[in-house]
Amino acid sequence: MFSLRHTCSGHKAALYALAPGRDARHFLSTGGDGWIVEWDLDDPETGHLLASVDTQVFSMHVVPERNLVIAGNMNGGVHWIRYDQPELTRNILHHKKGVYDIEVLGSRVLTAGGEGLLTVWDLETGHAVESYHLSNQALRSIAYSADREELAVGASDGSIYLLNSETLALKKVLTNAHENSVFTLAYTPGGRHLLSGGRDAMLRIWKTDDFLPVSEQPAHWYTLNHIVFSPDGAHFATASRDKTVKIWEAETFSLVKVLDVVRDNGHINSVNRLLWLPDGLVSASDDRSAKIWQREF
Domain range summary for the chain, segments of one domain joined by +: 2-295
Nearest 5 degrees, angle CA 162-CA 166-CA 172? 20
Pairing of strands 117-122, 48-52: unpaired
Work out the percent of the chain whose per-residue pLDDT is above 70.
100
Low-confidence residues of the chain: pLDDT under 70? 297
pTM exceeds 0.85 for this model: yes
How many C-beta atoms lie closer than 10 Å to residue 5's C-beta? 16
Q: Are 221 and 201 in contact (CB under 8 A)?
A: yes
Nearest 5 degrees, angle CA 155-CA 278-CA 1? 90
Distance between CA atoms of 162 and 172, rounded to whole angstroms? 5
Q: Are 181 and 153 in contact (CB under 8 A)?
A: no
**Residue 117 confidence (pLDDT):** 98
Superfamily of domain 2-295: YVTN repeat-like/Quinoprotein amine dehydrogenase (2.130.10.10)
Inter-CA distances, 29 with 79, 125, 234, Å: 15, 25, 25
pLDDT tens digits for range 148-201: 999 999 999 999 999 999 999 999 999 999 998 999 999 999 999 999 999 999
**Residue 295 confidence (pLDDT):** 81
**Residue 296 confidence (pLDDT):** 76
